[in-house]
Amino acid sequence: HPMVFPSSRVHFPKTSRRLPQALIIGVRKCGTRALLEMLYLHPRIQKAGGEVHFFDRDENYLKGLEWYRKKMPHSFRGQITIEKSPSYFVSPEVPERVRAMNASIKLLLIVREPVTRAISDYTQLRSHAATAILPLAEQSASAGAGSGYGARMSSTPSTLYAKLQAAHSYDNALGSGAGAKETAMAGMGARRAAATTTTTPTPSAAQLAAKSFEELAIFPNGTVNEAYRPLSISMYHVHLHRWLEVFPREQLLVVNGDRLIEDPVSQLKRIEAFLGIEHRVRSEHFYFNETKGFYCLRYDNGDRCLRETKGRKHPHVDPVVVSRLRKFFAEYNQRFYELVGEDLGWPE
């Protein structure tokens, strides 16, 4: 009799799904995916497939720890399971919830120079907004089409407006200064309104999607729009403060995301030591891909680069705005250095 197992049930004996012993808590756009994939080169590391969003989304958290555990991969005893959901870092309720699960969990925080991170965030939000305002059938064609948003907008404005609103609220809005939850609710309201009334104004959709980083980050009077999400997420000390009220400093490792791009092995060495696993990820695991402009990874079963949404080309940003923002962040960066006890040397 041939033994037949349903394929989803096949796994090595002596493995089980375990709650994570380490978390990558953020920061969004700082290389969280790269970090997880690089750590996965290590035989002692197992990773959760997607972003689980257990601690930051009430609908998931209410399902309980067993639900969370079942989202984890099978692992051998002695392996470390890691999950990454970058929004953990900025969600106020998360540190306490993590502590309630495991007070000795290890936390990895990857950061980049804050203005670079903000521009990367803007680039991602803009690409989502651009996708959201195109009907699905047109999305693939649009890549080479090069036409403005306006022309497509005019066809079915209220649907497009609703989609754009949804995309904006999902990603915390290109221009809004509201907090995550308010923005999401405003988005839902707009969607409902767009669905039920034909008189929904469709004004700013095209302008919103087309707004430059400069316009969104700096008010016409020259002051910085501190409430703009890509900027407020880069105020690392504000968010980290909450974590350090709950966890001792030794339980958190700050990974330099700009260095991870240039020289992954040196950062990984620190992480291996922090996680208490032997040094196994080495330069043979990486090769620099000239076309991509980033390091790609060498696994036993083949080479792999991160997908094209990782390592995007950023739009040109007026250098005057960049240096204005760097000055603006100087004070915040100092506070972050003090919190972590390390100077990351970001330019002012």
Binding-site residue positions for 3'-phosphoadenylyl sulfate: 29-33, 112, 120, 295, 310-314
The 3-class SS string of 276-310 reads CCCCCCCHHHEEEECCCCEEEEEECCEEECCCCCC
Q: State which of residues 160, 162, 260, 344 lies at the interface with ligand A3P (CB under 6 A).
A: 260
Token pair in block for residue 214: 């400069």
CB atoms within 10 A of CB 77: 8
Nearer to ligand A3P, 165 or 257 (CB): 257
Nearest-angstrom CA–CA distance, 206 and 78 = 53
Count of residues that bind ligand A3P according to CB under 6 A: 18
Nearer to ligand A3P, 114 or 153 (CB): 114
Nearest-angstrom CA–CA distance, 212 and 318 = 10
Nearer to ligand A3P, 201 or 293 (CB): 293
For the residues of 13-73, what is the DSSP string, one character each? TTEEE---SEEEEE-TTSSHHHHHHHHTTSTTEEE-SS---TTT-HHHHTT-HHHHHHTSP
- Residues belonging to the binding site are 29-33, 112, 120, 295, 310-314
The DSSP bridge partners found for residue 107 are 23, 252
Is 29 known to be catalytic? yes
- Smallest distance, ligand A3P to C-beta of residue 222, A: 27
- Smallest distance, ligand A3P to C-beta of residue 28, A: 6
Q: State which of residues 28, 126, 285, 324 lies at the interface with ligand A3P (CB under 6 A).
A: 28
The DSSP bridge partners found for residue 303 are 298
Q: State which of residues 20, 21, 25, 31 lies at the interface with ligand A3P (CB under 6 A).
A: 31
- Smallest distance, ligand A3P to C-beta of residue 116, A: 8
- Smallest distance, ligand A3P to C-beta of residue 150, A: 27
- 22-30, 167-175, 197-205, 319-327 -> range binding ligand A3P (CB under 6 A): 22-30
Q: Which of residues 33-72 bind ligand A3P (CB under 6 A)?
A: 33-34
Q: Which of residues 114-173 bind ligand A3P (CB under 6 A)?
A: 120, 123
Give the H/E segment covering residue 248.
Answer: none
| Sole residue written with tokens 């980049």 | 112
3-class SS of residue 84 = strand
The active-site residue, picked from 14, 29, 47, 163, is: 29
Q: Which of residues 261-320 bind ligand A3P (CB under 6 A)?
A: 261, 294-295, 306, 310-312
For the residues of 183-231, what is the DSSP string, one character each? HHHHHHHHHHHHHH-S-----SHHHHHH--HHHHHB-TTS-B-TTSHHH
List contacts with ligand A3P (CB under 6 A): 28-34, 86, 120, 123, 260-261, 294-295, 306, 310-312
Q: Would you please indicate which residues are annotated as catalytic (active-site) residues?
A: 29
